[in-house]
Amino acid sequence: ILSRRKTVPKPKVNQSIQKEDSKVVTQMDIEDIGDKMAFCRCWRSKKFPLCDGSHNQHNSAARDNVGPLLLLRNAD
């Protein structure tokens, strides 16, 4: 008899954001961004899609190095 290995699901990137939706899509008006805005790429922010600094705790716990996407308006 061959033993069957249980498949262990890989950890999910998105732990808690809009889990009721089939896809998380964010739309923003570029005019609302202002001079600077930081967008979350760790999926741990309580203000998702904006960064709230939660990546620091995630990086410490997971020994990871993720950080936000910074959008800067050139003030020429």
Interface residues with ligand FES (CB under 6 A) are 40-42, 44-45, 51-55, 66-68
Name 17's Cβ contacts closer than 8 Å, sequence gap at least 6: 24, 43, 48
Q: Smaller CB distance to ligand FES: residue 6 or 60?
A: 60
Annotated catalytic residues are: 23
Q: Running DSSP on this structure, what letter comes out for residue 18? A: T
For residue 31, the one-letter residue type is: E
Question: To the nearest whole angstrom, how small is the minimum distance from the Cβ of residue 67 to ligand FES?
Answer: 6
- Nearest distance, CB of residue 6 and ligand FES, angstroms: 32
